[in-house]
Amino acid sequence: MEKEPITFPDDFIWGTAVCSHQAEGHNVHSDWWEFEHQGKIKDGAVSGPAADMLNRYPEDFALMEQYGYNGFRLSVEWARIEPEQGRFSEEALLHYENVMKEMRKRNIKVCLTLYHWVLPKWVADSGGWTAPGCVRWFQRYVRRVVQRLFPYVDLWCTLNEPTAPLFAGYVAGVFPPEKRSWPLACRVYRNLLRAHVAAHTEIMQESEKLGADKQPLIGIAHAINYVEPRNPDNPVESKIHEFFDFMHNRVFVESMKTGCIPFPFGIGEKIHGLAGSYSYMGVNYYYRMTLQLPKKWPPGDLIDFLYVEGRETTGMGYESFPPGFYEVLKYMSGFDVPLYITENGCADADQDDVLRRRYLVRHLAQMHRAIKDGMDIRGYFQWSYIDNFEWLYGFEKKLGLFALEPGTLNRIPRPSATMYGRIAKNGITPGLVREFAPSVETELWGE
């Protein structure tokens, strides 16, 4: 049988993604910078110059153009823009404006995240997302950004994976501010939703003021993974599954639709302006969680609940499970707005990145299946463009299409960098699969 190439819509966005704290370097007025310097990161790492995108962005955008990527997701760093309360840095705003101009020049579409887990130190010192003024402060910062950058942005992402700073920062206590308090977590939940509404309001107002000809695309990048019980007949494992699925995947997204705060974060109270305050949904999909009774007691981490034995895992220890991507896209399509894959990717430290190539092709094939089945998916941002500061893991985990040469920080493409650009251009062809990921050929086209 003839093996048909797997092709994608012509106007599809083929992007890559970073968070600026992780890639730009020297975000010195932030809470994470302080946290890193307290020795909280694996092997005592600090973000330092990170991938030095702060200085090398022109070279980076030239590379993206050369490799054929036509989208880029990045964040603006609040700590750079407002290093002290009420003092806005013209230098930082100009920097981001120059970054956007450079992307324009290279025909790269911009997905801009306004909050990707990092706060200015002054906000954190005043109580972070639990402070009574936090939403007001966030709104004022967003206003500055929007007034300056509105014309350059194609896709606004107000918050990145809000459940991560919530659970890691206020329940597990492993991210700043290292709290373990349910009442505080509930306050953060509410304030993050309110922060999203505030940002949505600012962007809409600016759009109206400028008489923009189309509605701005505004959404959140949600962490949604595929969750299942190891043994559905075991009532305890089934309950664990339901609980994780709700808390990890569904609670925040469903709040955006209903406009309410559900139990256990609240008692159904409404947040003004929240219901339907999005015009796309961002999906960050990485892995399958097969949940079982914890391997050790008391469980310390999510990992203690995961069953991965004998399965294909990535460099993060999570299971690579492409069919789960399809299921997650199906669930997210239920919100009746276009979807953008704001993150998907694989840790693979090998310069030859065989694992990443397999992961990428298999996940993109599932995305294609979803599009073919009628789901409205408009773009994909591969995490990540380049190796960067991976939070608690420091620089140990390598998620980049490009590696960093130690010492010089020169950009070294991995084979997946070329492969991804070729997929962006021609789709997934049998020739490409034979060259880059031969082990996947039968899965895609049969014998």
Q: Following DSSP, what letter does each residue of 2-69 receive, concatenated?
A: ----B---TT-EEEEE--HHHHT---TTBHHHHHHHTT-SGGG---TTTT-HHHHHHHHHHHHHHHT-
Q: Which residue has the tokens 């494992």?
A: 237
Binding mask 247-286 for ligand FCB (x = CB under 6 A): -------------------------------------x--
The phi, psi pair for 186, rounded to 5°, reads: -65, -40
> Element (H or E) spanning 362, and its range?
helix 354-372
| Interaction of residue 51 with ligand FCB, rule CB under 6 A | no
| Interaction of residue 223 with ligand FCB, rule CB under 6 A | yes
Number of chain positions touching ligand FCB (CB under 6 A): 11
Tell me which stretch binds ligand FCB (CB under 6 A): 247-255, 302-310, 365-373, 383-391: 383-391
Give residues with Cβ within 8 angstroms of 349, minimum separation 6.
315, 396, 397, 398
Of 8 and 359, the one with the shorter C-beta distance to ligand FCB is 359
Please report how close the Cβ of residue 220 comes to ligand FCB at its closest, in angstroms: 12
Of 358 and 397, the one with the shorter C-beta distance to ligand FCB is 397
Please report how close the Cβ of residue 336 comes to ligand FCB at its closest, in angstroms: 25
Map residue 243 onto helix, strand or coil: helix
CA-nearest of 200, 350, 353, 374 to 279 is 200
Of 19 and 256, the one with the shorter C-beta distance to ligand FCB is 19
Please report how close the Cβ of residue 22 comes to ligand FCB at its closest, in angstroms: 6
CB 400 within 8 A of CB 415: no
Of 20 and 70, the one with the shorter C-beta distance to ligand FCB is 20
| Interaction of residue 24 with ligand FCB, rule CB under 6 A | no
| Interaction of residue 391 with ligand FCB, rule CB under 6 A | yes
Please report how close the Cβ of residue 438 comes to ligand FCB at its closest, in angstroms: 27
Give residues with Cβ within 8 angstroms of 372, minimum separation 6.
none
Please report how close the Cβ of residue 345 comes to ligand FCB at its closest, in angstroms: 7
Of 122 and 391, the one with the shorter C-beta distance to ligand FCB is 391
Whole-number Å distance between alpha carbons of 49 and 144:
26
Contact residue for ligand FCB among 6, 13, 19, 417 (CB under 6 A): 19
Of 150 and 402, the one with the shorter C-beta distance to ligand FCB is 402
Of 271 and 316, the one with the shorter C-beta distance to ligand FCB is 316
Whole-number Å distance between alpha carbons of 433 and 6:
11
Q: Give, as ranges, the residues between 102 and 131 that touch ligand FCB (CB under 6 A).
A: none
Of 113 and 130, the one with the shorter C-beta distance to ligand FCB is 113
Please report how close the Cβ of residue 286 comes to ligand FCB at its closest, in angstroms: 7
Contact residue for ligand FCB among 16, 113, 160, 191 (CB under 6 A): 160
Contact residue for ligand FCB among 383, 395, 420, 436 (CB under 6 A): 383
Helix 90-105 and helix 53-67: axis angle, to 10°? 10
| Interaction of residue 390 with ligand FCB, rule CB under 6 A | yes
CB 200 within 8 A of CB 262: no
Please report how close the Cβ of residue 128 comes to ligand FCB at its closest, in angstroms: 18
Of 8 and 383, the one with the shorter C-beta distance to ligand FCB is 383
Q: Could you tell me which residues are beta bridge partners of residue 380?
A: 14, 341
Of 36 and 390, the one with the shorter C-beta distance to ligand FCB is 390
Q: Give, as ranges, the residues between 334 and 353 that touch ligand FCB (CB under 6 A).
A: 343
Whole-number Å distance between alpha carbons of 185 and 173:
11
N- to C-terminal Cα separation, the chain? 9
Torsion over CA: 104, 197, 16, 410 (sign): positive
CB 171 within 8 A of CB 185: yes
CA distances from 215 to 119, 205, 280, 337 (A): 29, 11, 11, 13
Residues at the site binding ligand FCB, with contacts judged by CB under 6 A: 19, 22, 160-161, 223, 284, 343, 383, 390-391, 399
